[in-house]
Amino acid sequence: MSLNEEVELLRQIPMFQKVEQSKLKLLAFTSERLVFQPGQVICEQGERGDSMYVIVDGDADVIVNLPAGPLTVAQLHKNSFFGEIAILCDIPRTATVKATTELTTLRITTDLFYRLVAEFPQMSIEIMREIAARLDRTTRDLQLTQKELAEVREHQGG
């Protein structure tokens, strides 16, 4: 894929839509393009995060390790990004991400990420929107699960 094709691909991602062409070229040039095979782990829950990833093509599962075993909590697709929480909060990865199809990503290092966010505040807003949407989905899922659990308990007790 040519640099110009990568720039056009980046422009499709909401987080990068308002970034000027020259900066997108720099991002495409300085980020690392990685291809993962189905079943391959991109990042592991608990490990130190030194980069985020943008999905150029393919799909992946977001998996949280629980005492009862691994639980898939989300699916990621083209134009999705992940890994930003570990670098924003300087905490270990909150989940494992595993390719479900052949997965092509751009790996953006912490330093490059912070340079982009400093130069393009709109990126920060898009990242906050995505994180807020994820939190909303998680909260709704938790509420639904709590309701279902209460119904099961009520049925067992009654």
Percent of the chain whose pLDDT exceeds 90? 37
What's the pLDDT at 117?
A: 82
Q: What value does the mean pLDDT of the chain take?
A: 88
- 74, containing H or E segment: strand 69-76
What's the pLDDT at 51?
A: 92
Domain ranges across the chain: 3-157
Which ranges of the chain have pLDDT less than 50?
A: none
Measured in whole angstroms, the distance separating CA 90 from the mean position of its chain's CA atoms is 15
Topology of the domain covering 3-157: Jelly Rolls (2.60.120)
pTM above 0.75, yes or no: yes
Q: How many H-runs (helices) and E-runs (strands) does the chain carry?
A: 5, 8
